[in-house]
């Protein structure tokens, strides 16, 4: 039996209206009642999912967890106790930041507990509102004020896939520091430490809980979900997921994120 479900949020658990459908809520609560850990595994901060945890009955619960920043942090829900982080060096993030700013990108820099955004536009505000709140909009093209912060990841808004591919190639050829570079939400290129990905993090959480990889189910839709889908005992791709993710998954849901894809997987393999 699967003892832990690691689940992406945007375009997987959340419908396009940014809400958790009722059937997803019911299925997750039923799985948790059977002793299964339901772990949001997201590129976002753990602080942005507190209302989702409340909906699922997991808010401030001991021995329940969130994986944040594409595996950059593992956090226990009770008192938001940080168990592990995989930060990036300031100089690497600064060099990436200067590259993004020089090319006119909207740039997001995540510390452990804050999000700072440069060059934000109306479309980006519309997309992140309800997903990521309480960000700080920065006007000056510098991040030197974050020199002493724990930097979890940096992302660029590049809505065209070819732009994301070109940027990945540019960074891979010009940076000596090894990075985990992924795409998400058909709009972002994300940069993490090479030690931070959703797969490594969920396996580490499993080790801490005495749960084997074969006892983990991972559900996602995009490139940053691929490591956990490949490494879990069962990798699930939602129907609206990317084709390359579907190819790596052990199961593809019949329905998409707007129609209870997570509930479908839970009901089929756990309930």
pLDDT in tens, 107-146: 999 999 999 999 999 999 999 998 888 899 999 999 999 9
Res 134: pLDDT: 85
Q: Taking the domains of the chain in order of start, what are their residue ranges?
A: 4-85+196-269, 90-193
Report the CATH superfamily, name and number, of domain 4-85+196-269.
HAD superfamily/HAD-like (3.40.50.1000)
* Reduced 3-state DSSP string for the chain: CCCEEEECHHHHHECCCCCECHHHHHHHHHHHHCCCEEEEECCCCHHHHHHHHHHCCCCCCCCCEEEEHHHCEEEECHHHEEEEECCECHHHHHHHHHHHHHCCCEEEEEECCCEEEECCCHHHHHHHCCCCCCCEEECCCCCHHHCCCCEEEEEEECCCHHHHHHHHHHHHHHCCCCEEEEEECCCEEEEEECCCCHHHHHHHHHHHHCCCHHHEEEEECCHHHHHHHHHCCEEEECCCCCHHHHHHCCEECCCCHHHCHHHHHHHHHCC
**Confidence band (pLDDT; 50, 70, 90) for 209?**
very high
CATH architecture of structural domain 90-193: 2-Layer Sandwich (3.30)
Region 88-106: mean pLDDT is: 97
Task: Please tell me if the domain spanning 4-85+196-269 has the same topology as the one spanning 90-193.
Answer: no
């Amino acid at each position: 039996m699967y003892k832990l479900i690691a689940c992406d949020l945007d375009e997987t658990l959340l419908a396009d209206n940014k809400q958790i459908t009722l059937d997803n809520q019911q299925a997750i609560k039923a799985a948790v009642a059977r002793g299964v850990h339901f772990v949001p595994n997201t590129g976002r901060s753990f602080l942005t999912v507190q209302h989702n945890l409340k909906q699922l009955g997991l808010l401030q619960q001991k021995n329940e967890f969130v994986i944040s920043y594409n595996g950059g942090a593992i956090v226990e829900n009770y008192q938001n106790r940080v168990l592990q982080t995989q930060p990036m060096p300031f100089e690497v993030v600064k060099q990436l930041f200067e590259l993004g700013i020089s090319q006119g990108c909207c740039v997001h820099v995540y510390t452990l507990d804050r999000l700072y955004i440069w060059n934000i536009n109306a479309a980006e505000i519309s997309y992140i509102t309800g997903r990521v709140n309480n960000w700080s909009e920065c006007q000056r093209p510098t991040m030197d004020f974050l020199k002493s912060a724990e930097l979890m990841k940096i992302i660029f808004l590049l809505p065209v896939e070819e732009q994301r591919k070109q940027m990945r190639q540019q960074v891979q050829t010009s940076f000596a520091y090894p990075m985990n570079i992924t795409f998400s939400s058909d709009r972002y290129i994300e940069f993490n430490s090479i030690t931070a990905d959703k797969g490594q993090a969920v396996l580490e959480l499993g080790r801490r809980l005495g749960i084997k990889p074969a006892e983990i189910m991972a559900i996602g839709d995009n490139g940053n979900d691929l490591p956990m889908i490949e490494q879990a005992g069962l990798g699930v791709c939602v129907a609206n997921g990317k084709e390359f993710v579907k190819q790596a998954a052990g199961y593809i849901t019949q329905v998409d994120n707007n129609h209870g894809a997570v509930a479908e997987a839970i009901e089929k393999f756990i309930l």
